[in-house]
């Protein structure tokens, strides 16, 4: 495997894991890794790749590459982390334009230092390593989606390079924009199969005046269920609600994040604690922005050695969230697997982090999870994991939709199959 | 196929009572709320998905253009049948199929009016956030096609942010579900479909996200003697970290029209009124409202009024909601422009509108979603005067040119349709447009599904305005 940084102007964070390490863990062999430092370089690379019919894998921090359909071998891995600048920041108009290879955590660190403090309410798991482009390509978001919506609700515009090496741009920097097809949204979740994203424009928001967190332990599933049901019917507006537990543990730890006017935060904290107590929970209130952010990170990030973890993202209708997570917990217990669950309650989404040395056991577990989700009207995507555990995943997109919509578009945008295949 | 035979085929699918084919009836379907027209061959009123699919398959077999239509409130010529063919009018598919507060969704047919859904949700303590000014008459299918906005987009986003999934009859007549109550893997196909102006298929069922009604709402009306000061107030509110649900401005011309029509109680000599709405938890909202009133005072507000109850709130809103209709009193016709600029560029955009008005001698009123930077200059004219009509088109284009120069976009919520095809090149390069064309070609190779809309043909094939 050879490595090139043709421009060599900007380098990715030296502390980050190398593309080679990430690809090795995912079982992908790349003949060459390139780290473009500019959009122009991406254009040159893709134009050449098309001419020579090379297979190209665009990548960021590798925190959600599992959502892509990964071949065993590619000719070229495009490590986008060399493009990691904030291109434009306009706090007065509440927007920002960022290169795709910048990590989400670093975007927020820089925003928090601007004037009164701003934020990008996007917090997928492992957001320290996760790049904006990766989160965009994989449609990843985290606990803050509860109040602020998904990545698709933050994105205003996108720029990228098509397989012919031409720069393409869609959307803009305004919230309202219905000029032409909304390809800014369409490309979300396309997992590197349609074009290489180089820049993303997003909405930003002022950091709220006050932040706080309620951490409540519930002794049983039914107590947690009762609490979540009452919370859902209330007028309260938490920013995030995450339940975290290890499969087999009766006790569930719930993190409820609160932001806004100090009076609103204070009232919500009080009422949520009282509501928790009514359902057998006991907990405490933590204040301050740093605590708020760290609590959410702990609530959703995996623990342990990343390279042995199979991370699955399960989406079901909102009211089925806890039921689906419990069904997955049963699968883990029956299979004697160590599985951590992070339920984004109120969104019908949870992450299941399964750890085992046996790929076979992980494969069986993921098969069970898919069947469970399907039964409950949902879907599962692998976020990352050992190659052996991801093998034989099968189609990700509904076959009728794939045949009639996704494949015709893929063939018209990437007729030579330079980029990654779509999930059919 | 002869028209007569086509009509017979359509009748065999939807039944005689669900077809219009006489000259007088078809005349009603020649236009929407834009300045564009075209004569359809037949209008069909399907009552279920299968009928829509059969109509689309018939159109494919006979190579006849087809287009879906809701209430016809489209402002950019998106539902004008410029190439004839079959109009598939969805107004008889108007059932609310399910409201599921547990999963915070509602499943509706495309012909349901936006306000009908709001009225069904209100007693349950829920609402659907997108609220275009046309909500009394515009359908949810139309809202999806146009990605409609409304005054509350600043905080809650547009239709696309609230549609979770849809049953869609594709341009080839296949029926698929895009999106759903749970997140679906792969590219964001709902994101592509919403706002595609009926060019990529027809939604026959729509799953929308519903939200709990806010605990508390505060509505404030500010009267200003300067449009610039009203605009500066908007910037200052957001600069202080307050994100209201709504920030709406109307200028003097519109204020006078509104007073003559709706009698909302706005002073007729005011240069601008600004409507500000906060929503959310009651705690701390009074303090925020006070801060907003202080910002208004710092910008020389003449008077500031806070609605005491829902009746007063409705009164303050009546003028804004009736603004488009009210200006019809001033001249026989009007063209609503729809551009969006970064909020801080609003004063420049308004100056440009003023210059265009002066240059062409056309009165232009301004109603705009100031929080979003979404302008709606209303160019008033007499459509019976062909020279004036030509000036209107030129004036509209020049306003959009100014918007594009200021870093904005040529449509915030009304779509491209037929009206702005030429102007698409103000904001997109040929490479960008080509990617859009490939999508259309991939999904509708014969180009029968609402053809000639949204994306201009390649430069060498381009034609000017009709």
Mind listing the pLDDT tens digit for each residue in A88-130?
999 999 999 999 999 999 999 999 999 989 999 999 999 999 9
Give the 3-state secondary structure of residue B388: helix
What is the pairing mode between strands A240-246 and B126-127? unpaired
Q: Which long-range contacts does A406-409 make (Cβ < 8 Å, 24+ apart)?
A: A406/B186, A406/B187, A406/B189, A408/B442, A408/B443, A409/A194, A409/B187, A409/B438, A409/B439, A409/B442, A409/B443
CA diameter of chain A: 66
In this model, does residue B432 exceed pLDDT 80?
A: yes
Average pLDDT, chain B: 93
The answer to whether residue B450 neighbours chain A at the CB level (below 8 Å) is: no
CA of B253 to nearest chain A CA: how many angstroms apart?
25
Token look-up 């040119």 returns B401
B49/B157: higher pLDDT: B49
Q: What gap in Å lies between CA A96 and CA A76, rounded to an integer?
A: 30
- Contact across the interface for B416 and A180, Cβ inside 8 Å: yes
Q: Which SS3 state, helix, strand or coil, does residue A115 take? A: coil
Q: Closest approach of chain B CAs to the CA of A414, in angstroms?
A: 11
Residues of chain A with Cβ-Cβ distance to B181 below 8 Å are 317-318, 348, 377
Q: What percent of chain A has pLDDT over 90?
A: 86
Is residue A16 over pLDDT 90? Answer: no
Burial of B383 (0-12, 13-18, 19+ CB in 10 A): middle
Contact flag B455-A181 (C-beta cutoff 8 Å)? yes
Answer yes or no: is pLDDT of B151 > 90. no
List the single residue in B with minimal CA-CA distance to A265.
Answer: B283
pLDDT tens, position by position, B17-40: 999 999 999 999 998 888 788 999
What number of C-beta contacts closer than 8 Å exist between A and B?
260
Cβ-nearest to A194 among B160, B187, B440: B187
Residues shown for chain B:
466
Contact B187 A189 (CB under 8 A): yes
What distance lies between CA B362 and its chain's CA centroid?
24
Give yes or no for B343 touching A (CB within 8 A): yes
Distance CA B377, CA A204 (A): 28
**Mean pLDDT, chain A, whole residue set:** 93
pLDDT at A14: 59
Average pLDDT over residues A286-291: 94
Q: Measure the CA–CA gap between B458 and B437, rounded to whole angstroms.
A: 9
Q: With respect to CATH, is domain A2-82 assigned 3.30.43?
A: yes
Residues in chain A within 8 Å Cβ distance of B241: 116, 206-209
Given pLDDT bands bounded at 50, 70 and 90, which one contains residue A10?
low
How far from the centroid of its chain's Cα atoms is residue B246's Cα?
17
How confident is the model over A165-197, as pLDDT tens digits? 999 999 999 888 889 999 999 999 999 999 999
Could B181 and A404 be called an inter-chain contact, meaning their C-beta atoms sit closer than 8 Å?
Answer: no
Flag whether pLDDT at A5 surpasses 60. no
3-state secondary structure of B297: helix
Nearest CA to CA, how far is A170 from chain B (Å)?
A: 7
User: Superfamily for A306-387?
Assistant: Ribosomal protein S10 (3.30.70.600)
Closest approach of A153 to chain B, Cα-based (Å): 6
The alpha carbon of residue A172 is apart from the nearest alpha carbon of chain B, in Å, by 7
Same fold flag, A86-206 and A210-300: no
Query: How many other C-beta atoms lie within 10 A of the C-beta of residue A359?
Result: 16
CA distance B406 to chain A (A): 11
pLDDT of residue B320: 87
Nearest CA in chain B to A162: B435
So where are chain A's domains? 2-82, 86-206, 210-300, 306-387
Q: Chain B contacts of A315, Cβ < 8 Å?
A: 182-184
Q: Quote the pLDDT of residue A4.
A: 56
Nearest to B146 among A153, A178, A262 (CB): A178
Residue by residue, DSSP assigns B408-466 as -BS-SSS--TTTTTTTHHHH--HHHHHHHHHHHHHH-TT--BSTT-SSPPPGGG-----
Model pLDDT for residues B338-375, shown as the tens digit of each residue: 999 999 999 999 999 999 999 999 999 999 999 989 99
Q: Token pair for residue A250?
A: 């009766």
CA–CA dist A242, B432 (Å, integer): 40
The per-residue b/e assignment along A101-125, b for 16 or more CB within 10 angstroms, e otherwise, is bbbbbbbbebbeebeeebbbbbbbb
- Chain A CB contacts of B177 below 8 Å: 398, 401
Q: CA-CA distance, B434 to B31, in Å (whole number)?
A: 29
- How much is the pTM? 0.95
Q: Which residue(s) pair with A246 in the sheet?
A: A340
Give the CATH architecture of domain A210-300. Answer: 2-Layer Sandwich (3.30)
H/E element holding A224? helix A221-233
Which of B196, B284, B340 lies closest to A260 in CB terms? B284
Residue B221 DSSP SS3: strand
CATH number for A86-206: choose from 3.30.70.20, 3.90.100.10, 3.20.20.105, 3.30.465.10.
3.30.465.10
Q: What is the pLDDT of residues B182-212, one digit of tens each?
A: 999 999 999 999 999 999 999 999 999 999 9
Q: Residue B463 pLDDT > 70, yes or no?
A: no
The answer to whether A179 contacts B432, with C-beta atoms less than 8 Å apart, is no
- Mean pLDDT throughout A318-340? 96
Which chain B residues have a beta carbon less than 8 Å from that of A170?
432, 435
Chain B: nearest CA to A117, how far in angstroms?
Answer: 9
Name the residue facing A174 among B214, B239, B372 (closest C-beta): B372
């Amino acid at each position: 495997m050879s490595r090139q940084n043709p421009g060599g102007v900007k380098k990715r964070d030296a502390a980050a894991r190398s593309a080679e390490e990430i690809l090795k863990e995912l079982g992908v062999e790349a003949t060459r890794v390139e780290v473009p430092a500019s959009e122009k370089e991406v254009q040159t690379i893709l134009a050449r790749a098309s001419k020579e019919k090379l297979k190209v894998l665009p990548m960021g921090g590798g925190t959600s590459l599992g959502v892509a359909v990964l071949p065993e071998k590619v000719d070229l891995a495009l490590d986008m982390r060399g493009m990691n600048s904030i291109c434009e920041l306009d706090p007065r108009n509440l927007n920002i334009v960022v290169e795709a290879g910048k990590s989400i955590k670093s975007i927020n660190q820089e925003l928090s230092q601007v004037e009164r403090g701003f934020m990008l309410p996007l917090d997928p798991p492992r957001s320290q390593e996760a790049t904006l482009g990766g989160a965009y390509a994989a449609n990843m978001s985290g606990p803050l989606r509860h109040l602020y919506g998904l990545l698709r609700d933050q994105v205003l515009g996108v720029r990228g390079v098509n397989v012919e090496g031409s720069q393409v741009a869609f959307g803009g920097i305004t919230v309202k924009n219905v000029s032409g097809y909304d390809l800014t949204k369409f490309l979300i979740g396309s997992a590197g199969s349609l074009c290489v994203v180089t820049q993303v424009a997003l909405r930003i928001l002022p950091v709220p005046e006050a932040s706080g967190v309620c951490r409540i332990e519930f002794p049983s599933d039914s107590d947690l269920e009762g609490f979540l049901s009452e919370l859902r019917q209330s007028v309260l507006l938490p920013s995030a609600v995450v339940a975290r537990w290890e499969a087999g543990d009766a006790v569930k730890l719930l993190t409820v994040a609160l932001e806004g006017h100090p009076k609103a935060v204070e009232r919500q904290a009080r009422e949520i604690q009282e509501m928790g107590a009514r359902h057998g929970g006991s907990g405490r209130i933590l204040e301050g922005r740093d605590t708020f952010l760290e609590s959410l990170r702990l609530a959703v990030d995996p623990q342990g050695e990343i390279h042995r973890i199979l991370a699955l993202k399960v989406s079901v209708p909102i009211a089925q969230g806890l039921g689906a997570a419990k069904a997955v917990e049963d699968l883990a217990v029956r299979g004697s697997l160590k599985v951590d669950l992070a339920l984004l309650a109120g969104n019908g989404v949870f992450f299941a982090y399964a750890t085992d040395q046996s790929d076979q056991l992980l494969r069986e577990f993921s098969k069970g999870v898919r069947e469970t989700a399907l039964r409950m009207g949902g879907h599962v995507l692998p976020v990352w994991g050992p190659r052996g555990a991801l093998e034989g995943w099968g189609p990700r997109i509904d076959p009728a939709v794939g045949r009639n919509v996704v494949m015709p578009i893929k063939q018209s945008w990437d007729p030579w199959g330079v980029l990654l295949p779509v999930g059919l | 196929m002869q028209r007569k035979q086509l009509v017979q085929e359509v009748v065999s699918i939807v039944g005689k009572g669900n077809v219009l084919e006489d000259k007088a009836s078809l005349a009603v379907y020649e236009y929407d709320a834009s300045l564009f027209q075209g004569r359809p061959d037949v209008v069909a009123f399907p009552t279920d998905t299968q009928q829509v699919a059969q109509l689309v398959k018939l159109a494919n077999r006979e190579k006849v253009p087809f287009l879906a239509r809701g209430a016809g409130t489209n402002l950019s010529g998106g539902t004008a049948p410029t190439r004839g063919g079959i109009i598939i009018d969805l107004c008889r598919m108007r059932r609310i199929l399910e409201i599921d507060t547990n999963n915070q969704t509602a499943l509706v047919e495309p012909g349901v009016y936006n306000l009908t859904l709001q009225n069904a949700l209100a007693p349950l303590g829920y609402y659907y956030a997108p609220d275009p000014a046309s909500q009394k008459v515009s359908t949810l299918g139309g809202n999806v096609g146009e990605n409609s906005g409304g005054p509350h987009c600043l905080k809650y986003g547009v239709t696309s942010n609230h549609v979770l999934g849809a049953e869609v009859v594709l341009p080839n007549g296949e029926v698929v579900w895009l999106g759903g109550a749970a997140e679906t893997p792969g590219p964001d196909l709902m994101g592509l479909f919403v706002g595609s102006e009926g060019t990529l298929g027809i939604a026959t069922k729509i799953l929308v996200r519903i939200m709990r009604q806010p605990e508390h709402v505060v509505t404030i009306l500010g009267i200003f003697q300067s449009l610039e000061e009203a605009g500066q107030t908007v910037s200052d509110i957001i600069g202080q970290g307050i994100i209201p649900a709504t920030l709406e401005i109307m200028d003097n011309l519109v204020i006078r029209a509104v007073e003559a029509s709706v009698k909302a109680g706005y002073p007729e000599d005011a240069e601008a009124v600004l409507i500000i709405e906060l929503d959310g938890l009651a705690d701390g909202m009074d303090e925020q409202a006070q801060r907003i009133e202080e910002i208004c005072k710092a910008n020389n507000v003449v008077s500031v009024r806070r609605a005491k109850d829902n009746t007063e709130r409705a009164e303050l809103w009546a003028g804004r909601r009736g603004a488009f209709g009210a200006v019809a009193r001033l001249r026989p016709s009007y063209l609503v422009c729809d551009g969006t600029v970064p909020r801080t560029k609003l004063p420049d955009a308004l100056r440009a509108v003023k210059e265009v008005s002066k240059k062409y001698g056309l009165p232009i009123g301004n109603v705009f979603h100031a929080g979003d930077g979404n302008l709606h200059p209303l160019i008033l004219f007499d459509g019976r005067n062909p020279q004036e009509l030509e000036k209107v088109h030129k004036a509209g284009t020049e306003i959009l040119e100014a918007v594009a120069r200021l870093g904005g976009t040529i449509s915030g919520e009304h779509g491209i349709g037929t009206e702005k095809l030429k102007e698409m090149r103000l904001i997109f390069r040929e490479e960008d447009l080509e990617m859009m064309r490939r999508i259309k070609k991939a999904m509708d190779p014969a180009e029968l599904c609402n053809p000639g809309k949204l994306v201009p043909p390649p430069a060498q094939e381009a034609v000017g305005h009709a």
